[in-house]
Amino acid sequence: MIGVVSYLTFFLTMAGIMAIITLGLNLQWGYTGLFNGGVVAFFGAGAYGTMILGGPAEPGQFGGFGLPYLVALGGGVLLAAALAWVVGLLTLRLRHDYLAISTFGVAVALESLARNSQWLTGGARGMRGFPRPFEAVIESNFLFGVVFLLIVLAVLALVWWGIERLVHSPFGRALRAIREDETAARALGKSPTRLRLWSLVIGAAIMGAGGGLYVSYTAFVSPQDLLPILTFQVWAMLIVGGAGNNRGAVLGAVLIWGAWTLSGFALTRLVPDSMQLDAGSIQYILIGTLIVSMLLWRPEGLLPERISNPRNTTVAKAAHTSNKE
Amino acid sequence: MKRHILGLAGASALAIGLQTGAALAQECSVNVGTLYPTSVDWGRPIAETALWVGEMINEAGGVDGCDVNMILRDDQNDGRVGVDAARALVDIDQVQLLIGTVSSGITIPILTSVTAPAGVMQMSCCSSSTRLTEIAASGEARGLWFRTFATADVQAAVAAMLARDAGIESITVVYKNDDWGQDIGRMAAAAFEAVGIEVHASIALNDAQPSYRAEATQALRDQPGALYLALYPTEGISFVREWLGLGGTSVMIGANSLRSDDFRTTVGLANLGDFIGTDTSSPRVPSAEAFVDAYAAHFGSAPSGPGLANSFDAAAIALLAYHAAGRDATGTEIAAQVPRVTDPDGEAIPATVEGFAQAMAILSEGGSVSYQGATGAVTFDANGNVSAPAVSWVFDDSGMAEQRYISLEEVSGFMASIN
């Protein structure tokens, strides 16, 4: 029984990290309409930034400053934000699919950089030995899992609260105005370029926090963690949950991560022994079917955006979202 | 929609219940986690081989009289998915032994965040990163980590030994740009310098480039006396043809990854007269041939593809150690029994059902055995790495021929002299 609780603790930890990243994307896409196709780049910047600042020293390698945990995590967040700022200055003139392709390119470039800059990132071998927070003082493996879950939930709550404050402020309304009609927003004296840049940078910083938390759990990061599948997962989470709704983003993250991992677990029990080798492929089919079904039957997501203005109904919003696809 | 989900959940709960009922009906069984990328083309046969070992052990009587229940999970070649699957195996299925996985980028986070903290033994077939040696040496792995993949340091050292004996004075290192290639390229360059050979440059080749002319031109600029190639056949063929076409030297030393008929025929035997290859252990021992025959008999085709022999040995050694430790053993206790399975002074046993039965009888009586596996008689060092003798080999009319056998003592002595 304690095993099941222990696994659930871990599951919620990972789902919580994915939810944090999805909230970051929700700010960018759900509230501002920025098509970020390089989520994994900002996740990776946060992960590597945290590792370089907080990890142990290695001969022949930059970093290993062994800074306190919060400083390292904060540094990872700042690195992700800085990357987004540079990327944003270069690409934010681009719209929708063009922005998606260029941010995707940034992610691929970052993966290549991590794989090749041995002095900076350890190259393909990755970086190891991050001191996991509180592990030294907690003897029980189970208790460590619980404490780490609490850390993740605290960050998730902080991010949630911050984004809710943000999107209900005049700043948030300006973001939505840009998303709906950029020319109109400009006519009202808003600066779309500046606001879009802020949205990209804040969203990326949140994704970087997700990366920093991940690396401080696994104590290891390598280019293998920078593959585009993460970007795809986070998008699936946001679309299934409901873009433009923070509750939807968190729900989607938990559901999709659950489908992704628990389906593998369930298949080991449901599939006969002779088909165990095919379980991995069956799992992919299940995940794909789930996402496609959601897109067909509920394209606005499980919890669609709600806008307090009564004239702008949910239905109109749904039509708008599906037009953009 | 909601009703459907509930229905599905009910069905799964029922099925899990039935399964538990069936398990209780058996006398006893031992859960063993097996984690490989089954949904990736090259990962599937590796997993298949591990499951086959489980069947053989069961035929031979099972682990300490209990049926081995190999629970197979797919890591999708993704770190987060792999760590989750390992957590489920350790927490819910309560495994004390985890076999897997291939990619070092997944194996390492599993070792550092799942198996080592939980005291579960982990044995991999194919993870090559030197980071794993560092983790084991730092004590972070708590002695729970083993791999049957022969690490690159032996080959790198042997390459330097052969280069020195061949009178090579200067060399350029060309390596595949992945974790294995970066490691072996770096270690080979250090070993060459240690024996007084000038290393002009170390050049990385990225996968799947249409041409390596730029890299070949760069290598040619220094006019090296020889090339060291840590490449796979695909880019090896492409690079060496460019290199020879530009007039580069035909004196080449290559890693075992180039031990391929494709490489020999496509580059052409006429161009490979000065080529020397390195390899670890001796794949020509009778037990290795026995593995090829047994594999062909079981699966209907010869083992082709990376890691199959290593996967077989990883599963076999781990399960025999489990047997020696007993059905209720913890991961630490299983790990402690590994030396009894790979004892060079023990009774030599072949990798067959009869061999496993014989080994299990000896282990139960407190004796030790020398497991003669698909990669030869494996032993592990303190960091869970395979210590292996080495060979040099050359290409000839019939394929590849072994040239020189370098014993374990000679390899260890040479490595100590250059470090």
Place of tokens 């010869």: B302
Per CB-CB distance under 8 Å, the chain B contacts of A269 are 12, 15-16, 19
Q: How far is CA B198 from CA B69, B107, B194, B227, B297, in A?
A: 54, 36, 9, 12, 49
Q: Does A10 touch chain B (CB under 8 A)?
A: yes
Q: Domains of chain A by range and CATH?
A: 2-324 (1.10.3470)
Residue B7 has pLDDT above 70, yes or no: no
- Annotated domain spans of chain B: 27-150+287-386, 152-280+389-418
Residues B204-250 pLDDT 10s:
998 878 899 999 999 999 999 999 999 988 899 999 999 999 999 99
Q: Tell the CATH topology of B27-150+287-386.
A: Rossmann fold (3.40.50)
- pLDDT in the model for residue B285: 63
Which pLDDT tens digit goes with each residue over B191-204?
Answer: 999 999 999 999 99
The DSSP secondary-structure symbol of A31 reads I
Per-residue pLDDT reduced to its tens digit, B17-39: 444 444 444 579 999 999 999 98
pLDDT at position B256:
85
Contact B79 A224 (CB under 8 A): yes
Candidate CATH numbers 1.10.10.10, 3.30.470.20, 3.40.50.2300, 3.40.50.300; the one for domain B152-280+389-418: 3.40.50.2300
- Residue contact B109–A218, C-beta within 8 A: yes
Amino acid B14: pLDDT: 45
> Are domains B27-150+287-386 and B152-280+389-418 of this chain identical in fold?
yes
Name every chain B residue with its beta carbon within 8 A of the beta carbon of A7.
Answer: 87-88, 91-92
Residue with token string 């290192």:
B173
Mean pLDDT of chain A: 90
Sequential DSSP letters for B2-34: HHHHHHHHHHHHHHHHHHHHHHHHSS-EEEEEE
Q: Which amino acid is at A264?
A: G
Q: Is A289 on the interface with B (CB under 8 A)?
A: no
Q: Is the pLDDT of residue A23 over 90?
A: yes
Highest mean pLDDT among A304-308, B70-74, B149-153, B283-287: B70-74
- State chain A's maximal CA–CA distance in angstroms: 66
**Amino acid letter, residue A183:** T
Dist CA B17 CA B10 (whole Å): 10
Is residue A297 predicted with pLDDT exceeding 80?
yes
List, for residues A118-160, the tens digit of each pLDDT value: 899 988 889 998 999 988 888 888 999 999 999 999 999 999 9
More confident residue, B99 or A122: B99
For residue B88, give the nearest of A7, A279, A281 by CB distance: A7
User: Residue A150 has what pLDDT?
Assistant: 97
Nearest-10 crossing angle of helices A96-116, A39-54? 30
The model's pLDDT over B51-86, given as tens digits with 9 standing for 90+, comes to 999 999 999 999 999 999 999 999 998 999 999 999
CB nearest A277 (choices: B48, B79, B183):
B48
Whole-number pLDDT of residue B23? 44
Give A123 to chain B, closest Cα distance, Å: 7
pLDDT level of residue A321 (50, 70, 90 thresholds): low
The ipTM is 0.90
Whether the Cβ atoms of residue B147 and residue B125 lie closer than 8 Å to each other: yes
User: What would the pLDDT profile of A49-91 be if each residue is shown by its tens digit?
Assistant: 999 999 998 887 888 899 999 999 999 999 999 999 999 998 8
Find the closest chain A residue to B186 by CA distance. Answer: A118
Closest alpha carbon to B156 in B188, B129, B178: B188
Mean pLDDT of A293-297: 89
